[in-house]
Amino acid sequence: MKKYVLIMMILFVSALLLMACGGENDESEASDTNTAGNQEDDSENQEAGANLPEEVIRDADADPIELEDQMGLEMGDKGYVITQSENLPLAVTLNSVEKTQDLGAETKDGDEFYLIGDFTFENLGDSNIKIEKPDAALGADESVFLNDELTKGDRLGMGAWYLDDHNNIDSDNPTNAASLDPGEEANHKIAISMREGADDYIIFFGLYTSNNRDYQNKAAWTVQSDQLDEN
């Protein structure tokens, strides 16, 4: 009987030791997994940060990386935004702006017109990015936009159409959408439907209304009316 009790005690202690070792291994594996995940996130942030100017980075350690709002950009300047859906960096250059009431199949009259922005987009991320169209506002509303107080109804214009090289609505783009593969750069003309004119405008990415946004930060170009090419 004593021998039997001794054997049972040995088996019980052995089971406890095995359980303890197993728990330590599980914790070690979990720790290794978390470490690997953190290292992967850090690596992705470092890769994204390497493609961005230091002065536009607000927090390189955030996930995703956080960028400063960029206001007062001029034509020819490059702005940088983080997409809301993919959490990836997109570089945008506003090359020129035209003013017209005629897009071929679409026309405006009275005070309404289109601003046609010629943009260069570059995907600085590691997966596909969908490009969201820009909007426009009065130059005097810059601080309102910056403080997220600009509503959709306050906009002077909203991004409407992708155009072809002849400023007609792009028949080769029936979905009226554009995207970029990793590392891809492309030029797009985008028509912004304007309800009236002004002395100066801001053309921007990053409108935030009703808890919805297309980009996680803002990039805005100031354009004077005398800088517009009129057609």
Residue 198 and residue 107 in one domain: yes
What's the token pair of residue 48? 């994204």
Q: Is the separation of the CB atoms in 184 and 111 below 8 Å?
A: no
Residue 5 and residue 61 in one domain: no
Residue 41 and residue 68 in one domain: no
**Which residues constitute the domain of residue 75?**
56-230
3-class secondary structure, 84: coil
Residue 22 and residue 79 in one domain: no
CA distances from 110 to 121, 126, 169, 184 (A): 32, 45, 21, 39
What CATH number did the domain enclosing 161 receive? Answer: 2.60.40.1240
Residue 32 and residue 87 in one domain: no
Residue 141 and residue 183 in one domain: yes
Residue 32 and residue 129 in one domain: no
Q: What pLDDT sits at residue 29?
A: 55
Residue 45 and residue 124 in one domain: no
89/52 Cα distance (integer angstroms) = 8
Residue 93 and residue 143 in one domain: yes
Q: Which of 35, 50, 65 is the last residue of a domain?
A: 50
Residue 124 and residue 216 in one domain: yes
Residue 64 and residue 178 in one domain: yes
- Element spanning 159, H or E: strand 157-163
Q: What pLDDT sits at residue 211?
A: 82
Predicted TM-score (pTM) of the model is 0.80
Residue 103 and residue 176 in one domain: yes
Q: What is the pLDDT along the chain (231 residues), one digit of tens a residue?
A: 555 544 555 555 455 555 655 555 555 554 554 544 555 545 555 566 778 999 999 999 999 899 999 999 999 999 999 999 899 999 999 999 999 999 988 899 999 999 999 999 999 999 999 999 999 999 999 999 999 999 999 999 999 999 999 999 999 999 999 999 999 999 999 999 999 999 999 999 999 988 888 999 999 999 999 999 988
Q: Is the separation of the CB atoms in 33 and 54 below 8 Å?
A: no
How many domains does the structure of the chain reveal? Answer: 2
